[in-house]
Chains A and B, each alone.
Chain A
Amino acid sequence: MKILTKWLRSYLPGLSVDDAQLAEDLTLRGIAVEGIYDLGPDNGSLYEMDITTNRVDAMNHYGIAREAAAIYGLPLPELAFPIPEPRAGGQPFSVKIEAEDACGRFTARILRDVTIGESRDWFAGAEVATYFALLEQKKISNAVDATNFAWLAMGQPTHVFDLDKLEGGIVVRRARKGERLKTLDGVERVLDADDLVIADHKKALGLAGVMGGWDTMITPDTKNVLVEAAWFDPMVVRQTARRHSLHTDASHRFERGADFNAAPVASAIVSAILLANGGSIEGELVDARVPAAEARTALRKPVALALSEVQRILGTTIDEEGITAATVESVLAALGCGLAPAVRQTLGQNSWEVTLPSWRLDLEREIDLIEEVARVYGYNRFANTLPEFGGGVRALPWAEKEATARSTLLAAGFHEAISSTFCSATEGALTAPQPGLVVPLGNPLSEEAGVLRPSLVPGMLTMIAGNLNRDVNDVRLFEMGTVFAGTTDKVDERPTLAFGAVGALPQESALHSGRAFDFFDVKGVVEQVVSRFETRGIYFDRFPADAGLTPQWLHPYRSSRVVADGLTVGWFGQLHPREAAARKIKDAVLLGEIYLDRLYKLPLRRPIAREVSRYQPVRRDFSLVLHESIHWEKIDSAMAGLQIPELAEWRVREVFRDARLGAQEYALLLGATFQAPDRTLREEELQKFQAQVVEAVGKAGARLRV
């Protein structure tokens, strides 16, 4: 919205501050001036304003003058426009409000023998040509310009009809279903039975509070006019405007609540401007009012306000005197409130019954008045105090677990990412851990974002593909976020962790080349994360490819489930080559998802220290030959089954295949370390342990390579 300081100052002759200071003072009181443009000598400035939607009353020149008057304690002259004495007419013009719920007031004034022509600066207080030029507002004709002037001056929409096109008096009524009306924008509209129209005795003339009609508009030949200034119900105007996809200045104001008492003043401005170019008034102003609407607006019940409540809510001011009764009274009076001492005993001393101005429909309750006091007094005149506190501080119950999982991934060299909350229905179906429980959106941002993500995998794949497309070939990312499962009636949210990697392990040094990231690297990440939690047992497994239990996005033979304490806590492995190809990814993508809600059910592992042995460890290697069908897990459990206290540790040192082995056989080098906490192991003991190992792995199906 644009405001001319020249125009504004015409309402407030006593205003002595300059335009810059005025802008700052208004802004700090919530009437925000976003930009100031100097218009040259004697022209003042143009303010670009941003007024919050609750303050429609301040979206015009007089409204802002009222704010300035309150800030500086200046008297604000009432808006008044002298109009000529009316010529006596015959019967008063007929105005009938049929839809009393929707139209609270309708004023009509008849002007005869007007001359439609170009606007000029008509008289003091109606400098149409000057102000419009400064605002770069197009001049159209004195009739249209007059209504625009009233709008810019005081924010009251008005309308002017060509009286000779009317058939009978005015009726404000609901439209008839299917009734037709060509509006001023030239659009032929079919009306809804809920639309509010201004009609004559035969036809609809205009959409009330939204837009006038084509057939009764002012033309250069118009001689006699009817000036309308009215008050319409906000909700009715909003719904009418929405049904017809119209957003006009008039509908904007009426939707947010117009001033019930503004109609006669606005009518006077429009009439005065039109008559400046000739013509006369016929009869008195016709003013139809609905008492119920007036009671809801201009004649609302007073609101009780107590100084003690003002102080309880607002607190300490920098100025020692604080907010006094005098402060409250002067601020509210300047804003147009009436203050009478409270009659109710319960309110105590320094309390008032406050009558509310008709233009401030946003003021309804005591707290609204307290806000006005704070606002005009100035927010920055309040002190900075800190409330007392004696309570404890609680973190989220899973905060430490979440931090642990995050720091493990960070230490493993994965960057944290945040991806879209949405994915396509296809991706949703591919990655949902519970098929069918994908939640669609009613108004998605795009087709690719049609559903709430059931998994973090779609986002991970999008980010990996994005990096590869930008020639960033070594990617390691993780995300911790919410995934959604359910129906359009009930949606479950769970925290989940996903990670993905492609390309080479980061080069450890400029002098050594890296190697490709593989399945076991991601398995290691999963092991590291899960092992931060206290479990009785963790295992990894997979299902037969045709069982339909492996997530479809994973390679059926290079993927694994991870189970902790009997609960599936995640899946990971290589991206299914079909999905990689669909995304034009050539390198193997390793990725996985960990269901944090399940992991968080486990306590974090609390380390317990054991005595470190001071005695020499002894390492023995066993070169084993195994059939392809015998997996490491079997050897591993055979070793665990030995339960030799001195068997400190065992691991795979190497796995290899060579031609000298039998068909479907492979070799595995098993390294075992023996150590006692209290002595150096003797050779005889070691030989006994060795024999036990050979026997156990033999039972598991391994033979020693000779």
Chain B
Amino acid sequence: MTNENIPNLTGFDEAALEKAFASLEAQARESAAALDAEAFRLQWLGRKQGLLNEVSDRWLKAAPGPAKKAVGQRFKVLKELVEALLEGAGPSDAATDAALRAEAIDITLPGTRRPTGAEHPITRTLNEIVSVFAALGYSVGVGPEVETDYYNFECMNFPPGHPARDTQDTLVVAAQERKPLRDRLLLRTHTSPVQMRTMEQQPPPVRIVIPGKVHRNDAADATHSPIFHQVEGLCVDTNITFSDLKGTLDHAMKALFGSAVKTRFFPSFFPFTEPSADVQISCIFCGGKGCRKCKQSGWIELLGCGMVDPAVFAFAQEKQPAYDPKKISGFAFGMGVERIAMMKYGISEIGSFFAGDMRFLGQFA
């Protein structure tokens, strides 16, 4: 653009100004109709060569003192017009619309995804359970998957000859026969041995959850697998009671399955707890009315628990005398992670967890 884009002002009287500004306004309206918004903006409002700058430089600044105010007022009106025109410029313009229309895309085509992997449903469930107990003050512990008979059975108060000790139920490491019973190596059948390992390492109070993999010599079917996972819990302190056990698990089940869930406890038998209990929750599928999933009972059995048996404390006392069953008490609980995950995610075959099928795992992304 050059200076010739606007004429020189011939005079600063009213009539001359009127004529000059009217002509510029007409010109602005014309270009607003012809140009798209960006071109119009450049032509009139461009920082270096915009017409308004030129008007300001050559008319406003050049105006003699008495006329300055009049020119200024008219310049302001012109500027407002240009800005108003700019706002209205563009989209309504047929030519512009045609150009944009040519760029149309099918927005119903699927979006571009960068697929992320899915955490295993067992990991996810384990973490969920652990975090519920972490919020109640429980630390996390782990222990070995290959255990001795002592930790897996003896110190958990399984008498010699107990059926669970049979190789029909327990997978054992080869060539153990010549060793003393307590030293024989086996694949732990539950996470309970970590209770003892924890107590041996620290005096009370103890609050710990133990997630882990366990094995049994079980034939596989829809709900049984020789490989599965458990979360074990142990709380030992002065004045830990059976009602504390009830309250803790009731709270945990509500945190895991929703606040509407109810729990009920009934007597059971485990060698390492006494009193022992099985815990049922009200059916999460039917709310307790009775359905196929809960076999019409309204309740689903979910975990085993109980007060730590004094005999177990007696074993712990061999290394930590503070576990005196007359002074302290505690509770322990254990739950099967697969069973909970199957309920939460509607999985019917336990084998699905261990097959590595991409189609199954991908659902948890």
Interface flag for B336 (CB, 8 Å): no
Contact A416 to B361, CB < 8 A, known contacts A314-B243, A383-B243, A393-B134? yes
Task: List residues 574-628 of chain A with CB under 8 A from any CB of chain B.
Answer: none
CB distance from B94 to the nearest CB of A (A): 31
User: Which listed residue (A317, A370, A410, A489) contacts B275, Cβ 8 A?
Assistant: A370
A316 contacts B243, CB within 8 Å?
yes
B269 contacts A511, CB within 8 Å?
no
CA distance A286 to B35 in the complex (A): 124
B269 contacts A53, CB within 8 Å?
yes
Interface flag for B41 (CB, 8 Å): no
CA distance A460 to B358 in the complex (A): 12
Q: Residues of B contacting A235 with CB < 8 Å?
A: 161
Interface flag for A520 (CB, 8 Å): no
A414 contacts B117, CB within 8 Å?
yes
CB distance from A162 to the nearest CB of B (A): 35
Interface flag for A84 (CB, 8 Å): no
Interface flag for A149 (CB, 8 Å): no
CB distance from A637 to the nearest CB of B (A): 33
Q: Residues of A contacting B240 with CB < 8 Å?
A: 387
A416 contacts B354, CB within 8 Å?
no
B174 contacts A28, CB within 8 Å?
no
Task: List residues 324-355 of chain B with CB under 8 A from any CB of chain A.
Answer: 329, 353-355
B246 contacts A382, CB within 8 Å?
yes
Q: Residues of B contacting A506 with CB < 8 Å?
A: 113-115
Interface flag for A21 (CB, 8 Å): no
Contact with B along A356-377 (1 / 0, CB 8 A): 0000000001011011001100
A421 contacts B237, CB within 8 Å?
no
A442 contacts B167, CB within 8 Å?
yes
CA distance A415 to B264 in the complex (A): 37
A395 contacts B266, CB within 8 Å?
no
B265 contacts A379, CB within 8 Å?
yes
Task: List residues 452-467 of chain A with CB under 8 A from any CB of chain B.
Answer: 452, 459-460, 462-464, 466-467
User: Which listed residue (A379, A488, A509) contacts B266, Cβ 8 A?
Assistant: A379
User: Which listed residue (B145, B329, B359) contacts A313, Cβ 8 A?
Assistant: B329
Interface flag for B79 (CB, 8 Å): no
Contact A27 to B266, CB < 8 A, known contacts A315-B242, A417-B356, A441-B172? yes
Q: Which chain A residue lies CB-closest to B134?
A: A393
CB distance from B348 to the nearest CB of A (A): 18
Contact A54 to B265, CB < 8 A, known contacts A379-B277, A467-B358? no
Contact with B along A384-427 (1 / 0, CB 8 A): 11110101111110010000001001111111111111000000
Interface flag for A470 (CB, 8 Å): yes
CA distance A519 to B142 in the complex (A): 36
Interface flag for A630 (CB, 8 Å): no
Contact with A along B123-147 (1 / 0, CB 8 A): 1000000000010111111101110
CB distance from A10 to the nearest CB of B (A): 26
Q: Residues of B contacting A474 with CB < 8 Å?
A: 358
CB distance from A249 to the nearest CB of B (A): 17
Q: Residues of B contacting A380 with CB < 8 Å?
A: 264-266
Interface flag for A174 (CB, 8 Å): no
B268 contacts A445, CB within 8 Å?
no
A482 contacts B117, CB within 8 Å?
no
Binds A, one of B83-91, B189-197, B247-255, B281-289: B247-255
Q: Residues of B contacting A16 with CB < 8 Å?
A: none
CB distance from A635 to the nearest CB of B (A): 31
Interface flag for B199 (CB, 8 Å): no
Q: Which chain B residue lies CB-closest to A29?
A: B267
CB distance from A51 to the nearest CB of B (A): 9
Interface flag for B233 (CB, 8 Å): no
B114 contacts A488, CB within 8 Å?
no
A315 contacts B268, CB within 8 Å?
no
* Contact-residue bracket for chain B: 35 or more
Q: Residues of A contacting B268 with CB < 8 Å?
A: 30, 52
Q: Residues of B contacting A116 with CB < 8 Å?
A: none
B174 contacts A374, CB within 8 Å?
no
Interface flag for A439 (CB, 8 Å): yes
Q: Residues of B contacting A688 with CB < 8 Å?
A: none
Contact with A along B161-172 (1 / 0, CB 8 A): 101000100011
B213 contacts A421, CB within 8 Å?
yes
B123 contacts A416, CB within 8 Å?
yes
Task: List residues 176-216 of chain B with CB under 8 A from any CB of chain A.
Answer: 176, 185, 187, 205, 207, 213, 215
Q: Residues of A contacting B275 with CB < 8 Å?
A: 313-314, 370-371, 374-375, 379
Interface flag for A572 (CB, 8 Å): no
Contact A418 to B354, CB < 8 A, known contacts A365-B310, A413-B116? yes
Q: Residues of B contacting A316 with CB < 8 Å?
A: 241, 243
CA distance A28 to B117 in the complex (A): 45
Q: Residues of B contacting A27 with CB < 8 Å?
A: 266
User: Which listed residue (A413, A452, A472, A491) contacts B359, Cβ 8 A?
Assistant: A472
Interface flag for A508 (CB, 8 Å): yes
Interface flag for B303 (CB, 8 Å): no
Contact with B along A464-492 (1 / 0, CB 8 A): 10110010101111110110100011010
CB distance from A310 to the nearest CB of B (A): 10
Contact A374 to B310, CB < 8 A, known contacts A389-B136, A413-B116? no
CA distance A394 to B142 in the complex (A): 12
A488 contacts B174, CB within 8 Å?
yes
B176 contacts A488, CB within 8 Å?
yes
User: Which listed residue (A385, A410, A464) contacts B246, Cβ 8 A?
Assistant: A385
User: Which listed residue (B110, B173, B227, B269) contacts A439, Cβ 8 A?
Assistant: B173
B247 contacts A415, CB within 8 Å?
no
B265 contacts A477, CB within 8 Å?
no
Interface flag for A6 (CB, 8 Å): no
CA distance A484 to B26 in the complex (A): 88
Interface flag for B224 (CB, 8 Å): no
B269 contacts A52, CB within 8 Å?
yes
Interface flag for A138 (CB, 8 Å): no
A386 contacts B112, CB within 8 Å?
no
Q: Which chain B residue lies CB-closest to A460?
A: B356
A416 contacts B120, CB within 8 Å?
yes
B123 contacts A443, CB within 8 Å?
no
User: Which listed residue (B119, B167, B329, B355) contacts A406, Cβ 8 A?
Assistant: B119
Contact A413 to B117, CB < 8 A, known contacts A28-B266, A421-B227, A488-B173? yes
A415 contacts B309, CB within 8 Å?
no
Q: Residues of A contacting B217 with CB < 8 Å?
A: 443, 445
CA distance A508 to B55 in the complex (A): 54
A442 contacts B242, CB within 8 Å?
no
Interface flag for A510 (CB, 8 Å): yes
CB distance from A698 to the nearest CB of B (A): 40
CA distance A314 to B240 in the complex (A): 9
| Residue from B114, B167, B241, B362 whose CB has the most chain A CB atoms within 10 Å | B241
Q: Which chain B residue lies CB-closest to A473?
A: B358
Q: Residues of A contacting B269 with CB < 8 Å?
A: 30, 52-55
CB distance from B193 to the nearest CB of A (A): 14
A382 contacts B329, CB within 8 Å?
no
User: Which listed residue (A374, A413, A464) contacts B114, Cβ 8 A?
Assistant: A413
B354 contacts A488, CB within 8 Å?
no
The 10 A-B pairs with the shortest beta carbon distances in the complex, nearest first, are A315-B241, A30-B267, A463-B356, A315-B243, A384-B247, A52-B269, A371-B275, A410-B117, A417-B356, A415-B361
B residues lining the A interface (CB < 8 Å): 109-120, 122-123, 134, 136-142, 144-146, 161, 163, 167, 171-176, 185, 187, 205, 207, 213, 215, 217, 226-227, 235, 237, 239-244, 246-248, 250-251, 264-269, 274-277, 307, 309-310, 329, 353-359, 361-362, 364-365
26 example contacts (A-B, Cβ-Cβ < 8 A) are as follows A28-B266, A365-B310, A370-B274, A374-B242, A375-B275, A382-B242, A382-B265, A385-B241, A385-B243, A385-B247, A391-B137, A396-B142, A411-B116, A413-B115, A414-B117, A415-B362, A416-B119, A420-B354, A441-B187, A442-B172, A442-B174, A442-B175, A442-B176, A443-B167, A445-B226, A488-B173
Given contacts A312-B329, A315-B242, A395-B140, 11 further A-B contacts (CB under 8 A): A367-B307, A385-B244, A387-B235, A389-B207, A393-B139, A395-B139, A440-B175, A463-B357, A466-B356, A488-B173, A509-B111
